[in-house]
């Protein structure tokens, strides 16, 4: 019930207090404008932070930095929690502390004091509603703020939304209590200007309840549906409920219009015809990972995207599901120079079905491009991926391989680590040419010098092809690879080795090492990063750790990156 400007006190209210009430109503719009200005300031700081960060990343190999550079580092490193605390403080001050003169005048009259309290309660509605344009801006994709990647704004969007909902609930509950005490509740909520506020309150209160993490994880689709209904209905409902604050409603209409425009115009809709065009799906028996291949000419001519970009996939626009339920983000596993856009999808909750129509968004940036440009001489780069997160790691791995082939300088170390459930998932690497398979079924690297390690986590009993897998592991040991320090391998049975296969493997020094069990990541990272020339006082090699996968994997990699003073560039499996 945010922002209503009508309230009946009763016959005991004096004419002077009614005049003061109108004055307070005017002052409440000032509080809304203050919030709007502060939102613009916050948006400006986000843009400046992004620009400054990109400038600092370009000189990240420098050890000695100027005082000004250090100040800039502090400026751009303000965490989300600090911004949230500042917003909570600002909202509390604006709601709880009216102007000093208003308080002094109201203290001489009970009626005036009551009207002042009413205005403070109304002010909470105005303040909460004034936050909504900024809340929408933080959720727009692609984000209109220059140099800003929308995924970086989602945490702040979530917390601003929570502040908005909590303040709006406070506003609504206070008025409900007053109306119950005066026996006017049903009369009030049935009014044309109050009832839309009641509807909005119910919707957003439901969003608040189902957004609690344990609940949201279990019923995420229901949470998203309620969230979208509340979002689409907010502007029209508030236009009726708070007509004195039309400016905020008009801003929200603009934001909603941009959402509709981007959903329709920044995407393509194609049908999946089994065994033919317009896009291909490559499956492997016993693997949950599929490859979806979409020709680039489906998009506009000259389509460009950075590494780490993703495409959001949903049902066709004519399907109501695409408007009520969330789209699914999938990282692009191919390079911008390829003729096709390849996605690696884990088919669990979202399946690609024959004869169905799907909507594919334009690529959205996922990484600041400055991380992948510049001089990488003597840089150690390790890429750790889990499951479908290989889509994040593969183009980065190929990018740095191309850098090595085009420049005379060499990276200190380039290492790709993939942790996956079953050996059948290796069809992903076969498709992208990272691995090749000989006539005997062995897996080999395409090129010499590629440092790749693959860890299969499934139980041997779950593999119908386990004998071949064990054979490959045994051949790795015969070639001199020792796993003791780099993996927590399961104990393997020894199978007879075919002599001809062993000879063919020994003639191929680029054999990929496939291990059983999960990697000992501290040992892997220690080996990759503990290499530099300490005689150089001005420059040290940059350790960069790229990671994508489940939260547990990301947490471990983040901790290891901190221990080694390494840049940690990540993308969660879900965002």
**Residue 260 pLDDT:** 92
Which is nearest to 135 in space by CA: 264, 266, 261, 252? 252
Share of the chain above pLDDT 90, in %: 33
How many secondary structure helices (H) and strands (E) does the chain include?
A: 19, 17
- What's the mean pLDDT in 433-444? 66
Separation CA 431–CA 438 (nearest Å): 14
23 vs 407: which has the higher pLDDT = 407
Q: Is the pLDDT of residue 303 over 80?
A: no
Domains of the chain: 20-58+66-100+110-266 (no CATH), 270-361 (2.40.30.10), 369-461+508-570 (3.40.50.80)
| DSSP string computed for 228-297 | HHHHHHHHHHHHHH-GGGHHHHHHHHHHHHHHHHHHHHSEEEEEE-TTSSS-EEE--TT-SEEEEEEEGG
Confidence of residue 411 (pLDDT cuts 50, 70, 90): low
Pairing of the two strands 310-315 and 328-331? antiparallel
Q: What is the pLDDT of residue 256?
A: 94
Q: List pLDDT tens digits, range 87-134.
A: 999 999 888 775 544 554 445 555 555 666 677 788 899 999 999 999
Read off the pLDDT of residues 479-534 as tens digits, 9 standing for 90 and up: 444 444 444 433 333 333 334 433 443 344 344 478 888 999 999 998 888 755 44
Backbone angles phi, psi at 467, to 5 degrees: -65, -45
Q: Which of 149-158, 346-355, 499-508 has the lowest mean pLDDT?
A: 499-508
Closest CA to 233 of 212, 262, 208, 202: 202
Q: What is the mean pLDDT of the chain?
A: 77
CA distances 107 to 15, 453, 479, Å, are 17, 74, 88
Q: What is the pLDDT of residues 465-481, one digit of tens each?
A: 544 544 454 444 444 44
Span 1-18, pLDDT tens digits: 655 544 443 433 434 434
| Per-residue confidence (pLDDT) for residue 63, from 0 to 100 | 43
Give the span between the Cα atoms of 429 and 306, in whole angstroms.
Answer: 21
Kindly give the interhelix angle for 15-58 and 132-139, rounded to the nearest 10 degrees. Answer: 20
């Amino acid at each position: 019930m945010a922002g209503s400007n009508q309230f009946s006190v009763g016959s005991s209210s004096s004419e002077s207090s009614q005049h003061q009430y109108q004055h307070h109503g005017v002052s409440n719009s000032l509080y809304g404008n203050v919030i709007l200005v502060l939102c613009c300031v916050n948006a400006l700081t986000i843009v400046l932070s992004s620009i400054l960060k990109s400038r600092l990343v370009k000189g990240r190999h420098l050890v000695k930095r100027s005082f000004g550079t250090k100040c800039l580092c502090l400026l751009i490193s303000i965490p989300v929690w600090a911004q949230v605390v500042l917003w909570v403080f600002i909202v509390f001050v604006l709601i709880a502390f009216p102007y000093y003169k208003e308080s002094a005048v109201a203290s001489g009259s009970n009626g005036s004091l009551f009207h002042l309290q009413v205005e403070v309660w109304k002010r909470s509605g105005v303040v909460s509603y004034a936050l909504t344009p900024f809340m929408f801006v933080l959720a727009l994709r692609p984000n209109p703020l220059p140099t800003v990647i929308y995924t970086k704004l989602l945490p702040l969007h979530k917390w601003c939304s929570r502040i908005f909902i909590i303040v709006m609930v406070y506003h609504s509950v206070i008025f409900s209590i007053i109306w119950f005490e005066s026996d006017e509740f049903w009369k009030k909520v049935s009014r044309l200007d109050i009832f839309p506020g009641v509807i909005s309150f119910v919707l957003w209160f439901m969003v608040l309840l189902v957004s609690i993490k344990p609940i949201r994880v279990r019923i995420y689709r229901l949470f998203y549906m309620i969230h979208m209904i509340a979002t689409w209905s907010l502007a029209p409902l508030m236009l009726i409920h708070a007509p004195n604050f039309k400016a905020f409603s008009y801003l929200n209409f603009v934001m909603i219009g941009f959402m509709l425009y981007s959903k329709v115009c920044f995407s393509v809709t194609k049908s999946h015809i089994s065994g033919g065009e317009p896009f291909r799906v490559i499956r492997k028996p016993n693997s949950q990972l599929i490859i979806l291949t979409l020709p680039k000419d489906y998009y506009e001519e000259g389509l460009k995207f950075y590494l780490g970009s993703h495409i959001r996939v949903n049902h066709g626009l004519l399907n109501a599901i695409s408007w009520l339920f969330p789209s699914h983000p999938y990282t692009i596993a191919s390079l911008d120079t390829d003729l096709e856009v390849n996605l690696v999808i884990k088919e669990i909750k979202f399946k690609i079905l024959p004869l169905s129509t799907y909507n594919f968004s334009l690529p959205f940036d996922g990484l600041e491009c400055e991380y992948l440009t510049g001089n990488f001489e003597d840089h150690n780069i390790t890429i750790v991926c889990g499951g479908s997160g290989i889509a994040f790691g593969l183009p980065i791995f190929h990018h740095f391989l191309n850098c090595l082939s085009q420049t005379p300088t060499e990276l200190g170390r380039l290492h790709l680590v993939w942790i996956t459930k079953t050996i059948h998932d290796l069809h992903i690497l076969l498709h992208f040419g990272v691995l090749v398979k000989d006539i005997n079924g062995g897996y080999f690297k395409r090129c010499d010098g590629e440092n790749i390690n693959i860890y299969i986590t499934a139980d041997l009993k779950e593999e119908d092809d386990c004998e071949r897998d064990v054979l490959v592991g045994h051949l790795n040991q015969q070639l001199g690879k020792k796993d003791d320090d780099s993996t927590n391998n399961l104990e393997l049975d020894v199978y007879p080795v075919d002599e001809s296969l062993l000879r063919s493997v020994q003639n191929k020094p680029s054999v990929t090492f496939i291990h059983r069990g999960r990697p000992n990541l501290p040992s892997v990272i220690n080996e990759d990063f503990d290499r530099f020339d300490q005689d150089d006082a001005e420059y040290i090699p940059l350790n960069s750790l790229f990671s994508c996968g489940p939260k547990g994997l990301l947490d471990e990699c983040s901790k290891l990156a901190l221990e080694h003073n390494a840049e940690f560039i990540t993308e969660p499996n879900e965002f």
